[in-house]
Amino acid sequence: METTFGYLEQELRKADMKIPVSSASPPAPLPKDALRIQEESEQLAKELREVSGNRQTLKERLRELREYSNILRESQRFTGPLPESESWRESADTDPFVDSTVTSRHDLRVSFMAGVIHPWRMNAFERLLWRACRGYLIVNFVEMSEPMEDLVTGESVTQIIFLISYWGERIGEKVKKIASCFHCHMYPYADDETVRLETLKDLLLRIQDMQNVLAQTEGFLTQVLHRAASILHPWKVSVRKMKHIYQILNLCSVRERCLIGEVWCPVADLPVLQGALGRASAHSGGGGESFCHRIPCSVSPPTLIRTNKFTSGFQGIVDSYGVASYQEVNPALYTIITFPFLFAVMFGDIGHGLLMSLFALWLVLGEENPKLKNSENEIFSMCFGGRYLVLLMGLLSVYTGFVYNECFSRATVIFPSGWNVEAMARDKNWTREFLSTSTPAPLDPNITDVFTAVYPFGIDPIWSLASNRLTFLNSFKMKMSIILGVCHMAFGVCLSIFNYIHFNQKYRILVVSIPELLFLLSLFGYLIFMIFYKWFAVDVRQVQTAPSLLIHFINMFLFTKNDTNKDLYQGQQIVQMVLVVVAILCVPVLLLGDPICLYIQHHRRKNSHWHEDGERNALLAGDNEQTIGNLEQEKEKGDDDCEEVPSNLSFNSVGRQLENRRIS
């Protein structure tokens, strides 16, 4: 049935007809109703195929008639009344310059061949005719007066009419073969003009009759399509429900006269499940009732994260990297701000961010529009699903664009610049002639009144005129990216600590989380410290002699010192050596710590099982029947406790994780 529905939907799409979507959801059909839907849909599809086939045949026939009539009408400019062969021979007998022996050996009668060809093939067709027939023909081309629809591609094409005059049967055979190779539509062309005129009149009458029949066929086809459009959506919903019901029934097991299914259900949805089972029992009219029963289970429940139209896009990004286990911290909550902001750090531009925000805002405001919601374009559907994500990305890009002071890669002057060129010119006694002829000179902030104040927000627009603009901006953006990236990674490591505490895996805090933080902060955290220290410790008077952080960071791993690159603070070499040693010591802990702990746990668990089995065998081998009886009573009591205790357990939620229970 899905194949039949797909065919009906495809035909409706071809006819540009919309499928009305009803707000009311039809119920799942009974088996007899499903058979009725199948029969009616197949009958409707069969009727639609027949009508569509008839319309296609009528279109092809009408196209041929119109082409033939255009050929007869347009070719009149090339041909006229032809002389009869007998009158020509009489004039030849009276003409002393015509050799009678020549006319007896050669038949000089001219034959015609007409058809239409695609305009792209006309030049090649003409050249091949001339070369193959060695010029023993005359070809005339004229453009058709009306365009014709290509039945294969649906495009409107103005075909080219050609009329070929040739001598001899062999030339005619060559012309037919060449025309067939070029997919020309050939039509008979009479030598007598009277016959051609009668044929043209007959064609015009047949065209009119064919158009009337085609109009009636298209009207009937429209009725069939309207009928299919009105019932297609309820049919699809009903069949989809029936399909899901049978899929669920296939997962259930049949025991005697009971149908049993084991499912996972959120604890919050248990009342909904019980209500649905009660309604199903009342609707079925059977004597038995459906009920649900909680059973204990040691299997970890699946992860269920409830999302809405705002959080679904962010959760999809997290799930693309991996779905969190049951009761783990869900990082999608923090991704709502971190992912758009880190994107904005790379994409910071006021103009481009504003365009992205407007596009996302259009998607958000039109989210109930069926055209946008049901779009079949894969890229557009992806953008529509993440419309809130794109909106935040655009807004934060506008924010970082103000920080970078870039609008379509151009600086904007929102506040007055903090640099004063006039004060520099007064101090250096610069004139207009000097400035126009000399190379640009740097602005020295050490001179009084050259640097008046810090720009209120973002980058000063005067940097867009500086020759070292890229050097300054790249250095600023690189350092900011390092700071944000390291903080983001450290935050992710801290989230794992909550998981280890919740799952009672505190040993992993010592062998995984703490070594990861030490390794990260000893190297890259120290780099962030040096960035801030240089910003605070080095002022404009020390810019020329300021040490390079890159060289310091390289020498940190090489345990060397560069005399030309001064230390930032006293004792820097000792601190760097200690940090590198700490980072190196963290590597074996990260590689071997967790596997060794798991091996120790497994070994202890195995020894405990051996110890319990040994005690049980010793008791069973003894002669004390009272001891054996007490052991059996304790075992039965333990079994009862195992059945009761798990039924009282509940799965706690962490973050946005929901509680789950196994239901049968």
**Region 184-201: what's the mean pLDDT?**
86
- Return the pLDDT at 285: 66
Residue 664 has pLDDT above 50, yes or no: no
Q: Is 69 helix (H, G, I), strand (E, B) or coil?
A: helix
- Return the pLDDT at 607: 74
Mean pLDDT check: name the lowest of 79-88, 108-117, 265-274. Answer: 79-88
- Return the pLDDT at 439: 67
Please write the tens of the pLDDT for every residue from 225-236: 888 888 888 888
Quickly tell me which residue has 């901006």 as its tokens. 473
Please write the tens of the pLDDT for every residue from 549-561: 889 899 899 888 8
Residue 87 has pLDDT above 50, yes or no: no
**Number of helices followed by number of strands (H, E) in the chain:** 23, 10
- Return the pLDDT at 172: 85
DSSP 267: G
Q: Is 261 helix (H, G, I), strand (E, B) or coil?
A: coil
Please write the tens of the pLDDT for every residue from 418-458: 887 777 777 777 777 776 666 666 777 777 777 888 888 98
User: Sign of the C-alpha dihedral, residues 383, 387, 391, 397?
Assistant: negative
Whole-model pTM? 0.66
- Return the pLDDT at 609: 60
Residue 98 has pLDDT above 60, yes or no: no
- Return the pLDDT at 3: 84
Give the Cα-Cα-Cα angle 597, 603, 607 (nearest 5 degrees): 145
Phi, psi of 454 (to 5 degrees): -75, 140
- Return the pLDDT at 108: 55
- List, in order, residues 6 or more apart from 303 with CB less than 8 Å away: 323, 324, 325, 326, 328, 657
**Region 186-202: what's the mean pLDDT?**
86
Cα 397 → chain centroid: 22
DSSP 523: I
Confidence of residue 615 (pLDDT cuts 50, 70, 90): low
Structure-token pair, residue 384: 């529509």
Residue 263 has pLDDT above 50, yes or no: yes
Please write the tens of the pLDDT for every residue from 41-61: 888 889 989 998 898 889 889
Of all helices (H) and strands (E), which one includes residue 125? helix 122-133
- List, in order, residues 6 or more apart from 89 with CB less than 8 Å away: 103
- Return the pLDDT at 523: 94
- Return the pLDDT at 663: 35
State in Å, rounded, how far the first CA of the chain is from the last one: 32
**Region 99-105: what's the mean pLDDT?**
44
- Return the pLDDT at 262: 86
- Return the pLDDT at 547: 86
Residue 659 has pLDDT above 80, yes or no: no
**Region 199-208: what's the mean pLDDT?**
90
Mean pLDDT check: name the lowest of 438-442, 577-581, 622-626, 645-649. Answer: 645-649
- Return the pLDDT at 440: 64
Cα 319 → chain centroid: 16
Residue 213 has pLDDT above 60, yes or no: yes
Secondary structure (H, E, C), 534-590: HHHHCCHHHCCCCCCHHHHHHHHHHCCCCCCCCCCCCCHHHHHHHHHHHHHHHHHHH
Residue 102 has pLDDT above 80, yes or no: no
Query: What integer best gives the mean pLDDT of the chain?
Result: 81
More confident residue, 154 or 326: 326
- Return the pLDDT at 445: 72
Distance, in Å, from the CA atom of 65 to the CA atom of 116, rounded to the nearest integer, reads 12
Which region holds residue 102: left if phi is over 0, alpha if psi is between -120 and 50, else beta?
A: alpha
Mean pLDDT check: name the lowest of 23-27, 303-307, 496-500. Answer: 23-27
